[in-house]
A = this chain, B = another copy of it.
Amino acid sequence: MKVWLNGVPAEQISVRDRGLQFGDGVFRTMRCSGAEIILFDAQYERLRHDADKLGIVAPTKAMLERWLEPVVGSHGSGPSVIKVILTRGESERGYAVPEGIQPNCVVYAQPVPASGRQWRNEGISARICATRLAVQPALAGIKHLNRLENILARREWDGGEIAEGLMLDTDGFVVEGVMSNLFFVWQGRLLTPDLSRCGVAGVMRDAIMRQQATEIGRFEMETLLQADEAFVCNSVMGIVPLRRIGDKTFPIGSVTRSLQEQWVDTFVE
């Protein structure tokens, strides 16, 4: 795995970096077809939007594209996962941000997980996590580097039988998967949880909402468990049917299959 820091090859970063010190930054996880990054325009807009929310200056799109050049295609013509980490930069001590701080931008590529095709074809089982997401409107939606809630949730299970965990907020509403966004069909309507109080607003979620009219709302687990079909999504694995949530099983429904159909050339291993 080769890593670039602000366009320069580097495997390491200063311990003064505020990403390490405080989780003071944002990131993107993007799929690369070999030739290009899927949904790159949307990914860049989200990166800039999230950085803006924290008062971090994102690189221009042209600058980021330049930094990504050696990474795109570094896995040959096959697909890869590209990660971009943007931190506020380095400072000496304390939460205060010194004037003139320069952001740090880390980019690298990795192989796509081997499980993708099977997950999209056959679906996955999910557990309902005990770890809840705190309600924090100031950080909601942002893909920031403060991810301890996701890590605690992911530590609730191991082994391959369970592929994803569903997370509720501390008020009991369903929000998302540990590593994905959630959609479900209920009484003929396509629904996805509101992310204005917590959760990460993924680029794939946005793309699906543009594909098909979706109602955003606050839903209880009871509603989700009455769904006719359900799926999770992210930019790396695409659209993955939920076949089981806890003890409840679901069929792979026609809405899920229809949405997948439009991405069949994008998610290829």
Contacts and interface: CB of A to CB of B under 8 A. Distances in A.
A154 B21 contact: no
A122 B58 CA distance: 41
A42 interface: no
Interface string A1-41: 10101000011111111111111100100000000000000
A129 to B, nearest CB: 11
Interface in A65-96: 81, 83, 85, 87-88, 92-96
Nearest to A23: B23
A49 B158 CA distance: 24
Contacts of A83: 93
Contacts of A208: none
Contacts of A150: 22, 95
A136 interface: yes
Contact of A110 (B81, B92, B131, B179): B92
Among A92, A135, A198: residue with most chain B CB under 10 A? A135
Nearest to A142: B148
A5 B15 contact: yes
A268 to B, nearest CB: 20
Interface residues of A, number: 60
Contacts of A131: 138
A151 interface: yes
Nearest to A110: B93
Contact of A135 (B54, B95, B135): B135
A145 interface: yes
A5 B16 CA distance: 13
Nearest to A170: B135
A135 B134 contact: yes
A218 interface: no
Contact of A148 (B3, B10, B24, B27): B24
A110 to B, nearest CB: 6
A207 interface: no
A108 interface: yes
A-B CB proximity, top 9 nearest: A23-B23, A134-B134, A146-B146, A134-B136, A12-B12, A22-B147, A95-B154, A20-B20, A19-B20
11 contacts: A13-B14, A21-B27, A21-B145, A22-B148, A22-B151, A24-B147, A92-B110, A95-B179, A96-B158, A134-B198, A136-B149
